[in-house]
Amino acid sequence: MEIQKIGVIGAGQMGNGIAHVMAVAGYDVLLNDIDQDALDKAVALIARNLDRQVSKEKITAADKDAAMARIKTTLQLSDLGQTDLVIEAATERETVKQAIFDQLTPHLQPHTILTSNTSSISITRLASRTDRPEKFMGFHFMNPVPLMKLVELIRGIATDEETYKSCLAIVERLGKTAASAEDFPAFIVNRILIPMINEACYTLYEGVGNVASIDSAMKLGANHPMGPLELADFIGLDTCLAIMNVLHDGLADTKYRPCPLLVKYVEAGWLGRKAGRGFYDYRGDSPVPTR
């Protein structure tokens, strides 16, 4: 079955990036959100990001125009029933994702593949709530989607080989590399990355170093392009906490206990760049450490 039309649920940071790369690769994209303003902002952001690619001669102006013409938006989740593949990129909360799939499933064509961009939640469990667990898998893009070369493909216990191969073919058409992961909490990237960020939070919490020294140490001492606390702000502290909770609950190991300071920042609404404050304060001309 050739996939031509792709539905993307969620017009946020991940959803607009996924819509962007799919449209550039020649797929027709139907982007869905519950908020028209979010859809409008997503389309405008995609246009700006495509303009940046044109200026860097990554694509031509004609490529940009063709990609924008392939992107349509809708507030009606049921409209995605006519797509060949759906990528859910809503917030990283299982109850939200389950509600979306419950609402969408009755409208799907028999051949439609369902996928989730979840960074940590059980694919098997999400799939079990649908009428097609064999046509369900994890399709985890990295942020920012247009720049990052990796996509994690996660098979649930029921995912069939045809579904996997269809998703693998899409990754290859996007010019990205697939990493196949088993369906265990947080998969590969976040199983390793988020506990490192959590440990950086503990290092700050225990007073071993301040924000600037921890980030400088890892950038200059381990050659990381971003320090772990700066990266946490970029990802979103609420997302980091959600993934740590999935790891802690799913693996029942105390080494995955979320740092109390990370919890406190999330409780304060200091979620990182998107909120204007996190481990850095972004409200001025340049980021300033908050501890």
35 carries a ligand binding annotation: no
Active site (annotated) includes residue 199: no
Indicate which residue of 20, 152, 198, 230 is catalytic.
152
92 carries a ligand binding annotation: yes
17 carries a ligand binding annotation: no
58 carries a ligand binding annotation: no
Active site (annotated) includes residue 140: yes
Active site (annotated) includes residue 248: no
11 carries a ligand binding annotation: yes
Indicate which residue of 32, 49, 117, 119 is catalytic.
119
Q: Is residue 253 exposed (0-12), middle (13-18) or buried (19+ Cβ within 10 Å)?
A: exposed
Indicate which residue of 140, 166, 198, 230 is catalytic.
140
41 carries a ligand binding annotation: no
CA distances from 113 to 17, 80, 180, 274 (A): 20, 11, 18, 31
143 carries a ligand binding annotation: yes
CB count in 10 Å sphere of residue 283: 9
89 carries a ligand binding annotation: no
Question: In sequence order, which residues have a C-beta less than 8 Å from that of residue 232 and are 6 or more positions away?
Answer: 197, 200, 201, 240, 262, 272, 278, 279
109 carries a ligand binding annotation: no
162 carries a ligand binding annotation: no
Residues 41, 283: Cα–Cα separation, whole Å: 21
φ, ψ at 280 (rounded to 5°): -125, 155
> In which order are the strands placed within the sheet that holds 28-32?
71-74, 28-32, 5-9, 85-88, 113-116, 136-141, 150-155, 177-181
Active site residues: 119, 140, 152, 190
Which residues make up each annotated binding site for NAD(+)?
10-15, 33, 92, 97, 119, 143, 274
Binding annotation: 10-15, 33, 92, 97, 119, 143, 274
